[in-house]
Amino acid sequence: MTLVFATGDLVLEREDCSDLLSPTASLLSSADVVIGHLEVPHTGASVVMSSDVPAQPGPPGALDAVAEAGFSVLTLAGNHVFDFGGKGIEDSRRHCQNRGITPTGAGRDLTQAWEPAVVTHNGRRLVVLSVNCVGPRESWAGSNKPGCAFVDVITHYESRGANPGGPPRIYTFAESRSLASLKAHINRHVADDVDIVVSLHKGLVHQPAALADYEYEISHAVIDAGASAVLSHHAHILKGVEVYRGRPIFHGLGNFATVTTALNNSSGQSPERRSWARERIRLFGFEPDPMMPEYPFHPESRNTAIAALEFGAGGLIRAQLIPCWIDDNARPLPVTRSDKGQAVGDYIERITEEAGLRTTLEWQEDRLNVKLEGSTL
């Protein structure tokens, strides 16, 4: 048996993150493999290489607490991975490896970016691939360019009725060649003694429940190519759970440990970050809680969860969610069903239903079981 835990985003701007991760450390350490997504480069580099709104670099020392909490694999393929160029990627990989954590999803070139994290346990291999589905283009790796593994997603806008300039219909879909590349990279690892988990950076940010067309398309393609499960992050808010061909798709694991000052409107921030902090309020309709200055996210994002996957000799045998709540100090806390866990579970069931996913979630003590038989579509 191999027990795998997976969390949502890690945004760690504190040098010492021990207190941030201490409430979940004993739980995480009980798993054989713990996967998290490292949202920002951890580097001493400071020259911004992105034309998008840049993150602030994370201090390398923050990864000490990540290792101590039990994380063994960190996925890097995301929209901020190239914010500080190849140096930021190189430093992030090195700082992970120096702490016994295997990075995947970004590297010095496209070949290294597609290299999976591989963990051997009880005679089986767990292969973890990390893929960015949201851009920006400068974050993508090339044959001789640092960056991340990616799928190119195309957005098409179509006017709606007799209302020029009004809200359009929006269609999204994967560019066929890059989707084929993803499927090929999965397929080459398929074997009887291998379990494949694919981590996708995808989703509509700060929007409860909503899923874009491309999220279904790419997630289903990943399962069709041979993956046992899909993990997702980027939206900074939980999304629903789907079952496709008997395999779980966690459409968004939300925030896990996320502390940042990059999204406030203080005078010390760059003009780009200050502008985006104001624009987020207009676009997404929420004001960050002023009592949580390091947690500038949607109020519903304090509902979060850890995905738990159990693999046996024949592959995946169970998928669960462990409800967590982000407290007033931005710490993710595992919660029992009798103490806020029921409310978090109700939230997960509601957003799953609102997304049109007919997934059966059943309580087993303090965890939500994902019924894997059948398909939701």
Q: Tell me if the bond preceding 136 is cis, omega within 30° of 0.
A: yes
Contacts of residues 188-193 at CB distance under 8 Å and 24 or more positions apart, as own/partner, are: 189/116, 189/127, 189/129, 189/226, 190/225, 190/226, 191/125, 193/123, 193/124, 193/125
2-370: CATH architecture: 4-Layer Sandwich (3.60)
> What is the structure's pLDDT at 343?
98
Mean pLDDT by 10 residues, the chain (377 residues): 97 96 97 98 89 84 98 98 97 98 98 98 96 97 98 96 90 98 98 97 97 98 98 98 98 97 67 75 81 94 98 96 98 97 98 97 97 65
C-alpha gyration radius of the chain = 19
> What is the structure's pLDDT at 377?
40
| Integer Cα distance of 333 and 44 in angstroms | 30
**Looking up tokens 């079981």, which residue turns up?**
369
> What is the structure's pLDDT at 376?
44
- Spatial neighbors of 224 by CB under 8 A, at least 6 apart, are 183, 245
> What is the structure's pLDDT at 282?
77
| Integer Cα distance of 126 and 233 in angstroms | 20
> What is the structure's pLDDT at 295?
96
Q: With contact defined as beta carbons under 8 Å apart, do 239 and 200 qualify?
A: no
Burial class (CB in 10 A: 0-12, 13-18, 19+), 274: middle
Quick one: which of 33, 149, 42 has its CA closest to 93? Answer: 42
Q: With contact defined as beta carbons under 8 Å apart, do 224 and 254 qualify?
A: no
Bridge partners (DSSP) listed for residue 107? 147
pLDDT tens by residue, 212-225? 999 999 999 999 99
> What is the structure's pLDDT at 286?
83
| Integer Cα distance of 36 and 75 in angstroms | 6
pLDDT tens by residue, 216-260? 999 999 999 999 999 999 999 999 999 999 999 999 999 999 999
* In the chain, where the domains are located: 2-370
Distance of CA 166 to the CA centre of its chain: 32
Residue 68: strand, helix, or coil: helix
| Integer Cα distance of 13 and 60 in angstroms | 9
| Helix intervals (H) in 188-312 | 213-224, 271-284
Q: With contact defined as beta carbons under 8 Å apart, do 5 and 33 qualify?
A: yes
Distance of CA 133 to the CA centre of its chain: 11
User: In the chain, where do the E strands start and end?
Assistant: 2-12, 33-38, 73-75, 102-104, 106-107, 117-121, 124-132, 147-148, 153-158, 169-174, 194-202, 229-234, 241-244, 247-250, 255-259, 303-312, 315-326, 332-334, 361-364, 367-370
Query: DSSP assignment, residue 139?
Result: G
| Integer Cα distance of 156 and 172 in angstroms | 6
> What is the structure's pLDDT at 268?
64
> What is the structure's pLDDT at 267?
55
